Amino acid sequence: MIAPDDLPVLLRLLVPKLRRAGHNDPTKPIHSPSVARNVPKLQNAPGTWNRRRGQWKSSLSITQPGPQSTDGYSGFVDLLRLLRTLFSDRLNVIERMGAETPRIGRVDYGRVSIVLVNTPELIPELLIERAEDFVKGPVLRVVARPVFGDGLLTSEGDLHRQRRRLVAPALAHQRMGRYADVMQEHASTLGDSWRDGETIDVVAAMMRLTLGIVCRTLFDVDMPDQAEAIDRDITTAQTYAMRQLRVPFPLPQGRARAALGRLNDRIYGIIRDRRASGLDKGDLLSMLLLARDEETGEQLDDHAVRDEAMTLFLAGHETTALATGYAWYLLAQNPQYFERMRVEGLPFALQVLKESMRLYPPAYVIARSAARDTEIGAFPIRKDEIVLVSQWLLHRDPRYFDDPMRFDPDRFLPERETQIPKYAYFPFGGGRRICIGNHFALTEGQIILNNLAQRFSMQILARRPLKFQPLITLRPKGGIQVRLRAVAQG
Ligand code: HEM
């Protein structure tokens, strides 16, 4: 578990990496004049944007697999370029790589390199068959660890396996019936507060709604007033870590420490109250507090419970909020589907949700680091190399989806969904680390969409293309503003 006081751990994790990436002499400080002289100017951008074709023409060195291409480390690209491109504009980097990588390819950044797997057939090798050869990628490790500690999302190996066994029963398919009532009730309450003609940020509204649902279903507490404060604190902590990744000097940590401190206070408060009450409420928190390791008989201490609770608390609301937020955004531009939702109900709401996650996958990239030298599709991967697979790329790939940019919920009619190639669509990942909350998210998302669409339509206010924030999930910058239209009740 990492407390606010441990925030400098980010720097300890990062600075040696930056040094390795930037120059060959690790004894020299990163900002020494000799290094600065070697750093190409920033306008040396690795490619140009072709507006007409809407494509990036990259000049990065991309190595495709083939008999002659086993060694892809060609040329030195500077540290600043790596950090700038990787962490300031992740979607853009991924798109540029995707445009030049039909199967699998490597981008060299001097001594650091990234491999992109861009075809569904190879994904099981990364996530299932050779999963032992990989650990979670560096962004998640560095950005998420201070908040999630050793929770499911960030732990590895035996610890991960043990925790997954403990948490899984609380999120199993069979438990969804109980949770569905809470989801329905919270969605209805939100609908009661909406007014015809009102303008709202629908993503912020979905964040508050899903946070309320996760608090009630998993921890049996209601904290609607605190929802926004929690969301702000999470963003502050993650934004700090993301910014720190981009610069080679320590940033002031005051706000991030304070935010983490507040988050910890809240979660430990919930744990303390539950222990004091001695009640088994049958929710996730009780399951975590009472769970015993089958082999050792040990119970989770407060730190471990905090890490799992925090993980589910955060992983369990933001992603679903984004999925439903983007669904409203797409529906607002395709109002005919509001009507179908009213007529067809939950099954069509599920189709809308799935199609929205195709176009705007809340988790848009899965990253792994190679723990040892290995290979994927006979393409050699070196120890410590970062390997990416991207839902953003594959979900929008014309090789697997006709007219991919068109919003068409009927792609997910049951008889058509089965024709989508496996891993061309994978919003919840795959293999042993597949999203443990996927049933929860699908149940929740379709209930929210169906419930609110019975009472309201939405109009989009600005038809500008969305911009995104490069955090772990695909958040729209500035939210999504819509005008509510109450449906005449017949
Ligand atoms: C639309 C909503 C959601 C999406 C798109 C989503 C997506 C994902 C993805 C792609 C992963 C795998 C990451 C990787 O392999 O690196 C993941 C893991 C995880 N998700 Fe979700 N998720 C959603 C909702 C939820 C919910 C509702 C919960 C909890 C209630 C949750 C909890 C988790 C946890 C704990 C993990 C880590 C699992 C492990 O490594 O064993 N997620 N999620």
How is 112-169 classified by DSSP, letter by letter?
EEEEEE-SGGGHHIIIIITGGGEEE-HHIIIIIHHHHTTSTTT--HHHHHHHHHHHGG
- Is residue 39 very low, low, confident or very high in pLDDT (cuts 50, 70, 90)? very low
Instruction: Give the pLDDT confidence score for residue 37 in this predicted structure.
Output: 27
Q: Treating both helix axes as pointing N-terminal to C-terminal, what angle do 302-315 and 157-167 enclose, rounded to 10 degrees?
A: 70
The Cα 72–Cα 107 span in angstroms is 8
Contact 329, 202 (CB under 8 A): yes
**Ligand 1 atom at minimal distance to the Cα of residue 427:** 5
Q: What's the gap in Å between 33 CA and the centre of ligand 1? A: 44
* pTM exceeds cut of 0.85: no
> What per-residue confidence (pLDDT) applies to 219?
81
Average pLDDT of span 147-173 = 87
Hey, how many other C-beta atoms are within 10 angstroms of the C-beta on 258? 14
* Residue 332, CA atoms < 13 Å, CB-side half-sphere: 23
Mean pLDDT calculated for residue range 472-488:
91
Confidence of residue 66 (pLDDT cuts 50, 70, 90): very low
Q: What are the residue ranges spanned by the domains of the chain?
A: 115-486
- pLDDT tens digit sequence for 9-31: 333 333 333 323 322 222 222 22
What would the mean pLDDT of 399-419 be, rounded to a whole number? 97
Determine if ligand 1 sits within 6 Å of the CB of residue 437: yes
Residue listed under structure tokens 């680091």: 369
pLDDT computed for residue 425 by the predictor: 98
pLDDT confidence of residue 248: 65
Q: For residues 354-364, give the mean pLDDT.
A: 97
Higher pLDDT, 401 or 106: 401
CB of residue 476 inside a 6 A radius of ligand 1: no
Mean pLDDT, the chain, rounded, equals 80
Query: Which residues, 6 or more positions from 8, have their beta carbon under 8 angstroms from its beta carbon?
Result: 250, 253
pLDDT band at 88 (very low <50, low <70, confident <90, very high): low
**419 with 402: CB under 8 angstroms?**
no
- 3-class SS of residue 242: helix
Any atom of ligand 1 within 6 Å of the Cβ of 351: no
- DSSP one-letter string for 244-260: HHH-SSPPP-HHHHHHH
pLDDT value at position 310? 84
User: CA–CA separation, 390 vs 123, rounded Å?
Assistant: 10
**Separation between Cα atoms, residue 452 and residue 446, nearest integer Å:** 10
Instruction: Among 319, 366, 434, name the best residue to mutate to test ligand 1's pocket (greatest count of ligand atoms within 8 A of Cβ).
Output: 319
User: Which atom of ligand 1 lies at the shortest distance from residue 445's CA?
Assistant: 1
Q: What is the pLDDT of residue 293?
A: 73
Expressed in angstroms and rounded, the spacing between residue 47 Cα and the centre of ligand 1 is: 34
Q: Is 316 in the pocket of ligand 1 (CB under 6 A)?
A: yes
429 lines ligand 1 (CB under 6 A): yes
427 close to ligand 1 (CB < 6 Angstrom) = yes
Q: Is 362 in the pocket of ligand 1 (CB under 6 A)?
A: yes
Per-residue confidence band for 335, with pLDDT thresholds at 50, 70 and 90: very high
Rounded Cα gap, residues 171 and 163, in angstroms: 13
Q: For residue 214, give the ligand 1 atom closest to its CA.
A: 30
Say which range, 183-187, 375-379, 419-423, 466-470, has the weakest mean pLDDT: 466-470
Which range, of 11-15, 41-45, 151-155, averages the lowest pLDDT?
Answer: 41-45
Q: Quick one: average pLDDT of 454-463?
A: 92
In short, whether 440's Cβ falls inside 6 Å of ligand 1 is yes
**Homologous superfamily, domain 115-486:** Cytochrome P450 (1.10.630.10)
Mean pLDDT computed over 123-143: 88
Which comes out higher in pLDDT, residue 4 or 190?
A: 190
Q: Is residue 391 in contact with ligand 1, taking CB distance under 6 Å?
A: no
Atom 43, ligand 1: which residue's CA is nearest? 435
